[in-house]
Amino acid sequence: MAFRGSCLCGSVQYQIDQLDGPIVHCHCTTCRKAQASQYASTGRVLRDHFRITAGEEQLQEFESSPGKLRKFCRTCGTHVFAERASDPYVILRVGTLDDDPGRSPAMHIWTCHDVAWLTDGDDVPRHAEWQPGR
Ligand SMILES: [Zn+2]
Ligand SMILES: [Zn+2]
């Protein structure tokens, strides 16, 4: 069984056989900037378990630190995965999965990079859809 994923515009499509590590929310500054979000939800996938099935030519890369390439769709900007050439795995941005990989987030890392104004404490109201009165 394979789990499917894609970028926002649908140009880039991929499949994974499984996540080969826990789902980790990374709060580091480069992830915050790359995702334009408080943190990036990531999971390791062995290269043998990861296949781009469409739109490989759409992937643009940015070297965010020496040897670390962040790959994103050149049309819609979705950050799909990051990799280091020497690693046997890619670091998938699990928010791009269309199927449920059967795992839940296990931890937050690099919270020392958090900026106080973007911290999502438990006291922040949650709404299933738009906020009331909008
Ligand atoms: Zn796209
Ligand atoms: Zn990070």
- Return the DSSP state at 24: E
Distance from the CA of 2 to the center of ligand 1, in angstroms?
21
CATH ID of 3-116, from 1.20.120.550, 3.10.580.10, 2.170.150.70, 3.90.1200.10? 2.170.150.70
**Residues 6 or more apart from 34 whose CB is under 8 A from it?**
40, 62, 64, 70, 72, 79
**β-bridge pairing 105-109 and 23-26:** parallel
pLDDT at site 14: 98
Q: pLDDT-based confidence at 21, cuts 50/70/90?
A: very high
Tokens of 2: 């394979």
pLDDT at site 31: 95
Please, are residues 33 and 44 in contact by the beta-carbon 8 Å criterion? no
Tokens of 18: 């499984």
Q: pLDDT-based confidence at 125, cuts 50/70/90?
A: confident
What residues have a C-beta under 5 A from ligand 2, the ion? 26, 28, 31
**Residues 6 or more apart from 31 whose CB is under 8 A from it?**
39, 40, 42, 110
The pLDDT > 70 percentage for the chain reads 100
Q: How far apart are CA 90 and CA 93, in angstroms?
A: 10
Could you tell me the residue ranges of all domains in the chain?
3-116
Q: pLDDT-based confidence at 119, cuts 50/70/90?
A: confident
Burial class (CB in 10 A: 0-12, 13-18, 19+), 133: exposed
* pTM (predicted TM-score): 0.93
Distance from the CA of 70 to the center of ligand 1, in angstroms?
14
pLDDT at site 124: 85
Q: pLDDT-based confidence at 22, cuts 50/70/90?
A: very high
Distance from the CA of 28 to the center of ligand 2, in angstroms?
4
pLDDT in tens, 45-93: 999 999 999 999 999 999 999 999 999 999 999 999 999 999 999 999 9
Average pLDDT over residues 84-109: 97
- Classify the phi-psi angles of 50: left when phi > 0, otherwise alpha if psi is within -120 to 50, otherwise beta: beta
